[in-house]
Structure 1
Amino acid sequence: MISRFNLPSILEGYSQGYFLMADEQGHLGWYSSRQRTLIPLDNRFRYPKSLRRSLNQQTFTPAINRAFEAVCAGCANRDVTWISSDLLEVYRALHRAGWAHSFETWQGDQLAGGILGIVIGGAFIGESMFFNLPNGSKVAMVLLVEHLRRQGFILFDAQLQNPHLARFGSYIIKNQDYRYLLAQAVQLPCTFVVGDKSENPFL
């Protein structure tokens, strides 16, 4: 098992372009890929027209780290998952140290959806997402991109391509190009959580 307390080596792994996953037996290990999927933070980003009503009517309220544990549990709650109990412990340790975050949408007091990610400099490394209510995670994606833009992030790593991400304009780059961009991003002094609870609408 990769020690959940060895945070410097874990952060170094992510900073070098690797990511953690558990295999079918639950053994945790480092992985890489010949290609990486990115969510654009420029004008290439798009979203399904079906979300416009929810966005215009502000059906969901965004928050950061209001329910980190619940987002982790939601992301891991699927028939086939790479998020083992050991990996959940790693996420918790990273969260306590200020590196792992959840970006959420709420409808009243109900958690509608969320995105789990690791933040290093100006890179948001998306680990997983889930929803409890229709469009909950999709709206979270749109609002997260807006937040990352405001904070000066240059990289939103979605790791692996799928049809859902493609609807947001996700694109594939070679691993060599990804690592070059990642090396630039992790050096930026970006802030993901801004202010305190009294003044920050994302808390």
Structure 2
Amino acid sequence: MPVYQLSEDLVFPSPHLASQEGLLAIGGDLSPSRLLLAYSNGIFPWYSEGEPILWWSPDPRLVLYPADLKVSRSLKKVCKQGAFELTMDRSFEEVITECARVRLENQEGTWIVDDMVQAYCRLHDSGLAHSVEAWQDNRLAGGLYGVSLGSCFFGESMFTRVTNASKVALVALVQHLKPLGFAFIDCQITTAHLTRFGAREISRSRYLGELAEALKPATLQGKWAF
């Protein structure tokens, strides 16, 4: 499949045209309008420092349905112990910055380059990107962030400085979204870590169909809180 070069026009090719690896297009920008158009079409940016912006729509897609959440016995115990103070949207920029920093420290490389940080902070300022923070002794111990549209939460990244901090944050997010009627959390790419929480792979075609339905409810825009 060819990789499409984006122009200044706010348009994406069909995600069904993505390569076998999921790469769909190159170029464009990270403006809020383009990011929201991408997410609403099952597309997300993912690239490294020094590369042009790359846009992806993988097949299969990893999703976590709230009803499928699996929490181990040991993690349930940690959650009940209240070892972490949990907040939402208190320190979005710190969370996304820590997500990038931890990956670099672990020599994993990161797609959360400076332009990405600024772009998602703009979405957060618009009430469309959200974070969950896990605090311990008044220090940020772990957290996650993503974008919310309709009844879908597009998970972007998570980090932990203290054992189980990001896991507790994820459980708290799912438990928050479930009574609000959220359809699923888009986990994007398969990882063993997320499959242990009950996330599963579905085909791109199925994902796009479910996404279209999930985008019909009104978006819960603004600052979130537990």
Is TM-score (shorter-chain normalized) higher than 0.5? yes
State the identity as a percent: 36
Whole-angstrom CA distance in 1 between matches of 2:134 and 2:37: 30
Q: Does residue 185 in structure 1 map to residue 209 in structure 2?
A: no
Task: Give the direction of change, closer, same or farther, for the CA distance of 1:72–1:194 in structure 2 (3 Å limit).
Answer: closer
- Give 1:25 shift: 2.8
Q: For each residue in 1:34-64, what CA deviation from the matched residue of structure 2 results, as whole angstroms up to 9, or x when unmatched?
A: 111011211x210222212211111112111
DSSP-derived class of the 1:22 partner:
coil
Which AA in structure 1 matches 2:29?
Answer: S
Whole-angstrom CA distance in 2 between matches of 1:50 and 1:57: 11
1:139 aligned residue: 168
Q: Does residue 38 in structure 1 map to residue 67 in structure 2?
A: no
Whole-angstrom CA distance in 2 between matches of 1:90 and 1:184: 26
Which AA in structure 1 matches 2:33?
Answer: P
Name structure 2 gaps, 5 residues minimum: 1-26
Q: Does residue 150 in structure 1 map to residue 179 in structure 2?
A: yes
Task: Give the direction of change, closer, same or farther, for the CA distance of 1:192–1:105 in structure 2 (3 Å limit).
Answer: farther
Match of 1:51 among 75, 98, 107: 75
Q: Contact 1:21–1:87 (CA<8 Å) still a contact in 2?
A: no
Which AA in structure 1 matches 2:174?
Answer: V
- Give 1:3 shift: 3.4
Q: Contact 1:123–1:156 (CA<8 Å) still a contact in 2?
A: yes
- Give 1:104 shift: 1.5
Whole-angstrom CA distance in 2 between matches of 1:23 and 1:56: 38
Task: Give the direction of change, closer, same or farther, for the CA distance of 1:166–1:192 in structure 2 (3 Å limit).
Answer: farther
DSSP-derived class of the 2:66 partner:
coil
Name structure 1 gaps, 5 residues minimum: none
RMSD of aligned C-alpha atoms?
A: 1.8
1:11 aligned residue: 36
TM-score by length of 2: 0.80
Give the number of aligned pairs: 195
Q: Does residue 67 in structure 1 map to residue 69 in structure 2?
A: no
Q: For each residue in 1:98-118, what CA deviation from the matched residue of structure 2 results, as whole angstroms up to 9, or x when unmatched?
A: 111111111241112111100
Q: Does residue 164 in structure 1 map to residue 204 in structure 2?
A: no
Which AA in structure 2 matches 1:40?
Answer: Y
- Give 1:89 shift: 1.5
- Give 1:76 shift: 0.9
Q: For each residue in 1:120-174, what CA deviation from the matched residue of structure 2 results, as whole angstroms up to 9, or x when unmatched?
A: 1111000000011110000111111100012211121111111111110110000
Which AA in structure 2 matches 1:54?
Answer: V
Matches within 5 A, 1:97-136: 97-136=126-165
Q: For each residue in 1:2-53, what CA deviation from the matched residue of structure 2 results, as whole angstroms up to 9, or x when unmatched?
A: 434x3222201110000011136342221111111011211x2102222122
Moved over 3 A (4+): 1-4, 192-195
Q: Contact 2:148–2:219 (CA<8 Å) still a contact in 1?
A: no
